[in-house]
Amino acid sequence: MAKVFQKGTTYFAPKGSYYEGNVKIDGDFVVPARTHFWGRLVVSGSLELGSRSSVALDVICGSAIIGSQSRIKGPIIATGDVTVLDHATVHSIQAGGKVILRPDVRVGDVTSSDTIIVHGRIKSGKLIGKNMKVLGN
């Protein structure tokens, strides 16, 4: 089980770490590539999940950037914006802000209180938002 380092209100996971249980961070959380969470991840602020990382259960956060080729097996529930980068797989997204989906994202249903922006081709369930923008393919 890895430690977490803190600088001000931002927390950092060390490179190549994994976390067995649920993780709760009171602040912002920056996670490097290839970090694995085998439980639930709760972050009161913003989450930056590095590429090729994984979360076994749900992610609850203020806002999130999900790195390319990451895998989240549970829903992402965010009060703010969610960006999912190329080739990531996410169970579903419920966001209070904008949702940006990059090319080749696989996601279940997406609900946003704001705009959903889709870049290129994705595989998804229902997309429900105030506005929809599809850019390129």
pLDDT digits (tens, 9 = 90+) for 108-130: 999 999 999 999 999 999 999 99
- Tokens (6 digits) for 64: 């999130």
> What pLDDT does residue 136 have?
75
Q: List the one residue out of 97, 95, 94, 135 whose CA is nearest residue 118.
A: 135
Domain-wise residue ranges, the chain: 5-135
What number is the average pLDDT over the span 80-107?
98
Q: How many residues does the chain have?
A: 137
- Tokens (6 digits) for 96: 């209070």
For the four alpha carbons of 35, 33, 68 and 131, in that order, the dihedral sign comes to positive
